[in-house]
Structure 1
Amino acid sequence: MKRLRLPFMSMIAAIVILAVAGCAKPAETKTAAPAGQTPAASSQAAPSNPAGEKAKLKVGISAGVEEDIWKKVKEVAAKDNLEIEIVTFNDYIQPNKALADGQLDANAFQHEPYLNQFKADNKLDIVKLANTLNFPIGLYSKKIKNVSEIKEGDELGLPNDPTNGARALILFERAGLIKLKEGVGVKATVRDIVDNPKKLKFKELEAPFIPKALPDLTAAVINTNYAVDNGFVPTKDAIFIEPKDSPWVNLIAVRTADKDKPVFQRLVKAYHSDEVKKFVVDKYGSFIVPSW
C-alpha cells in the first residue's frame, strides 16, 4: 500500500475555500505525488481493458478503517485479473485534486453532496461511479454521557467543510439542540440556525483534527472514519448518532471521460461482491452499512 506525499502545502491551503473539514491521524500530512515523481497530466487516460484482460487501477481512499475494506476489494479484483493500487490520504481535499490531475484513476472517500460541492467550487470534471458505504456520524464527548447534559453556553465542534458541516448541523437539530431554517437541507451553515435555546457556541474545525480538540469542547460531531481511527466505537461511544438509513452514502468517483470504460465496471463488480459485503458486515456491521 502506498501513501502519497505533497510538498506544496501552501497550494492546498490556497484551494481550501471551505467555511472554516461523511470519515485518520492528523499528525501526518499526505502528499499528492511520491517524492521525485512528476504528477501525471490531467489528460492521461485511464485504461479501458475489457473483462478478463490484465489491468491496473490506482485508487485513493481515506486512511483508517477503509484500508482494510479496500484490501478485501483488492483481493476480489485480483481474481478478475484487475490489480488495484491503494493510495491513502489523511484529508478530504487532496483525493479529488489528485483524481482530476490524473494521479489517480478513481477515489472512494466522500458522499455525493461533498463531491458535488467540491467539484463545483474547484471546477473539476469528476463524477460518481457507484455507491459504497454509509458511515453514520455521531456526536462524541469526553465530558458528558448524554445530550441532555449539554448546558447553556456550551461549545460544540463540527467539521468546517460545507457538506459535513451541514450534516453535523442536521444531527444537532435531530438531537433537539437547535432548529435550522426550513428547507436549507444539505446547504445548512451556522448562519441558518433560527433557534438556539441554550445559546450554544459552535467551533468549526478541519474534520481530521476534531478528535484531538474534543477535550476542549463539550461535544463534537466526528466523521466515523476519524472516530474509529481515534479509538471510538460509534455505537458504544457516540452520545447521539445518525440512523443507519442516513442518506449520506459514500461513493467511488472517477473522471467523467472514464466513467463508461469497462475496467471501472470491473472495479464496481469487485466492490459490490458478496465477499466484500460479508467482510464489511462481519467486521464493521455495528457502524458501517453496505449501500448496494
Structure 2
Amino acid sequence: MKNLLTALAASLALTTTAAQAGEISVAATAVPHAEILEFVKPALAKQGVELKIKVFTDYVQPNVQVAEGRLDANFFQHQPYLDEFNASRGTALVSIAGVHVEPFGAYSSKVKSLDELSEGAQVVIPNDATNGGRALLLLQSTGLIKLKEGAGITATVRDIAENPKNIKVRELEAATLPRVLPQVDLALINTNYALEAGLNPTQDALAIEGSDSPYVNILVTASEKKDDADLQKLAQALHGAEVKQFIVDKYQGAVVPAF
C-alpha cells in the first residue's frame, strides 16, 4: 500500500508539473495589450500553451507580481519605464519581445487646438518618471514649454525653463487622466488609457508623437525566465504576421506594429 501511494503521489506530481509547463500567466492593461493577447491565445493553445491573461489598471502591480513570481510575464510598458522601475525597485525584469508603439497624445474637451489654450491653462501629465518626461517632451515639441538643456525622458516639471503661457502642470496617476479630462484644459494621456476611455488618438489628440517614437511596448518577464520555452512561444506569436495585421486593422494608426 505504501508503495502504491508513493507511486500515485509521483504520478500526480508529474501531471501537475506538465500542466504548469503548458500554462503561462500574463498581466496586461485592458486596451490594447489584453486584446492583442486574446488574439494570440488560440494560436498558443494549438501549440499546447494555455495563456491566462490578468487585466490590471495600474503600472506598478504588473511588475511587482512578475518580480515576485506570482505571474510569469507582463505586457503593458515600454523600455524606459522598465529601466526606471528596475532602478528604483531593485528588480531584474527583462524584455523578451518588442510588439507595438502607442503614440502618446494631448487631449482636451475644452479647446479645439493648442493655440486656444488660455494664460494659466490647467494641464495634467502622468506622475511616473518616464511617462511624465515623455509628456513634457511632447509639450515642448508643440512650443508650449521649453525644457532645460539636457532634460530628457526623465524630465520633471522642475525642468521647465520657459513657459510663455504660464500653463499650470500637475502630475497625476496615469490611469486617472481620462477621468479628469473634463475638469482640466489639457491632459497628456497614454494611448492604452485613451482607448479605454473611448478616445481616438488619431482623431481626438491635439498633439501626438510621430511614428519614430522610441517607446515600444514590450513583453517582460523575470531575468531567470527569459528563455522559458512557453514564453518564447508567446514572444514568437506576438511577432506573427497575423498579429501585425490585427493591430493595423483594429487600431487604425492609434497603435503601430514595431516589428
TM-score, normalized by the shorter chain, greater than 0.5: yes
State the partner residue of 2:241: 274
Match of 1:135 among 102, 105, 112: 102
State the partner residue of 2:217: 250
- Superposed, 1:140-155 pairs within 5 Å as 140-155=107-122
Matched AA of 1:101: E
State the partner residue of 2:62: 95
Match of 2:168 among 194, 201, 214: 201
- Superposed, 1:73-222 pairs within 5 Å as 73-222=40-189
State the partner residue of 1:36: none
Offset of residue 285 of structure 1: 2.9
Offset of residue 231 of structure 1: 1.1
Match of 1:132, SS?
Answer: strand
Offset of residue 259 of structure 1: 0.9
- Superposed, 1:19-38 pairs within 5 Å as none
Matched AA of 1:166: G
d(CA) in 2 for partners of 1:184, 1:74 = 41
d(CA) in 1 for partners of 2:234, 2:150 = 37
Match of 2:171, SS?
Answer: strand
Does the CA-based 8 Å contact 1:76-1:275 persist in structure 2? Answer: no
d(CA) in 1 for partners of 2:88, 2:21 = 36
TM-score using structure 1 length: 0.80
| 2:180 is the alignment partner of 1:228 | no
Matched AA of 1:94: Q
d(CA) in 1 for partners of 2:43, 2:249 = 17
d(CA) in 1 for partners of 2:199, 2:242 = 26
d(CA) in 1 for partners of 2:21, 2:78 = 30
Match of 2:37 among 58, 70, 77: 70
Offset of residue 167 of structure 1: 0.5
Give the CA RMSD over aligned residues: 1.7
Higher helix share: 2
d(CA) in 1 for partners of 2:21, 2:136 = 46
Matched AA of 1:132: V
Match of 1:59, SS?
Answer: strand
Q: Which structure has the greater CA radius of gyration?
A: 2
Does the CA-based 8 Å contact 1:54-1:81 persist in structure 2? Answer: no
Offset of residue 198 of structure 1: 1.0
Offset of residue 66 of structure 1: 2.3
User: Alpha-carbon deviations, 1:177-204, whole Å to 9, x = none?
Assistant: 0011122211111111111111111011
Matched AA of 2:53: I
Match of 1:64, SS?
Answer: helix
* Divergent runs of 4+, >6 A: none
Match of 1:152, SS?
Answer: coil
d(CA) in 2 for partners of 1:141, 1:284 = 21
Does the CA-based 8 Å contact 1:106-1:254 persist in structure 2? Answer: yes
Does the CA-based 8 Å contact 1:157-1:210 persist in structure 2? Answer: yes
Offset of residue 54 of structure 1: 6.6
d(CA) in 2 for partners of 1:188, 1:113 = 12
Aligned residues: 243
Offset of residue 220 of structure 1: 0.8
